Amino acid sequence: MKPDIHPDYHPVVFQDANTGDRFLTRSTATSERTTEWEDGNTYPLVTVDISSASHPFWTGTQRIMDTAGQVEKFRRRYGDASAVRGR
């Protein structure tokens, strides 16, 4: 690697804004806020809007979309495109 061209890669604590869950990992992200981790050390704290702790796919609260219902709703709202084309 070339010296002095890469960002600082250091331990950072990420906190989910929705659930409050925190995890320690390494990142180039920086923050003025800090927090004390379980090991007693202080690390930069980066707050994220969504993580695996609150994402619907990972929590099992994912909605199943009714695609046929969406198509019918579209056709009711905008009409049938084949009628416009003369088919």
pLDDT per residue over 29-55, tens digit each?
A: 999 999 999 999 999 999 998 888 887
| Residue located via tokens 């989910």 | 16
- Domain containing 20 equals 10-77
Whether 49 is in a domain gets the answer yes
Specify if 4 maps to a domain: no
Q: Give a yes or no: residue 5 inside a domain.
A: no
Burial of residue 13, with CB atoms counted within 10 A of its CB: 0-12 exposed, 13-18 middle, 19 or more buried: buried
Residue 22 lies in a domain: yes
Structural domain includes residue 3: no
Q: Write down the pLDDT at residue 39.
A: 95
Q: What is the pTM of this model?
A: 0.64
Evaluate whether residue 20 is within a structural domain: yes
Does residue 16 belong to any structural domain of this protein?
yes
Domain count, the chain: 1
